[in-house]
Chains A and B, each alone.
Chain A
Amino acid sequence: EADIYQTPRYLVIGTGKKITLECSQTMGHDKMYWYQQDPGMELHLIHYSYGVNSTEKGDLSSESTVSRIRTEHFPLTLESARPSHTSQYLCASSELARAFFGQGTRLTVV
């Protein structure tokens, strides 16, 4: 069974706050991804990493940042949250042709 975890599952936070969305996997995968998705819309890749100390911007521009200090950990940070950041954030990891997804974090900025 795949093990990839995201916390928190739901977060409601005020404008201007700094937040970090956590994503961890125990499978030793080098490749990890962050996606953003608005209700009824397709997923958009916002960040990806091919290994430790490797991070790249995805297809959709995002004000968030990521880090990859450890293989198993790929946190996403928003320095100053805004209502426009309200969305669902989905973390994934992959190896060869198989991908695994976290449960997602539903972020609401008020």
Chain B
Amino acid sequence: AQSVTQPDIHITVSEGASLELRCNYSYGATPYLFWYVQSPGQGLQLLLKYFSGDTLVQGIKGFEAEFKRSQSSFNLRKPSVHWSDAAEYFCAVQWRGGSNYKLTFGKGTLLTVNP
């Protein structure tokens, strides 16, 4: 079955440290790939997306993500975390083809940033 997995429910990092949030998907072909961030009480904001081409994608707020086909992964990274990055992060995939275009979210990773 098609699925999206974010294996880390909660991650805590110190301000200034590097960050990597993991996302894996299960599907027979390459889907559209997204990372969203939700700050407390806010709606979702798109950080970046991958459709095709260069597998390293740059997003807003200094985030980037790398698509690795061999690992069915789309991990989100940031070299130096700021306190304002504390939020919940969602990986999402959208299956291509047919008339479904189903959008599926992972369960989210909650990021805590220590001063």
Interface on A for B, CB 8 Å cutoff?
31, 33, 35, 37, 39-40, 42-43, 45, 48, 58-59, 88, 90, 92, 94, 96-99, 101, 104, 106, 108
A16 to B103, CA, bound (A): 27
* Closest chain A residue, CB of each to CB of B31: A40
4 nearest A-B pairs in the assembled complex, by CB-CB distance: A39-B101, A42-B46, A45-B43, A97-B40
Q: Could you count the A-B residue pairs with CB atoms below 8 Å apart for me: how many are there?
A: 56
CB distance from B9 to the nearest CB of A (A): 10
Chain B 93-109 per-residue mask, 1 if CB under 8 angstroms from chain A, else 0 = 01010011111010010
Chain A positions within 8 Å of B44 at CB level: 33, 35, 43, 45, 92, 99
Q: A106-B100, A106-B101, A106-B102 are in contact. Are A94 and B94 (CB under 8 A)?
A: no
Chain B residues bordering chain A, tally (CB within 8 A): 26
A98 to B49, CA, bound (A): 22
Is there an interface contact between A43 and B101, defined as CB atoms closer than 8 Å? no
Is there an interface contact between B43 and A98, defined as CB atoms closer than 8 Å? no
A40 to B32, CA, bound (A): 6
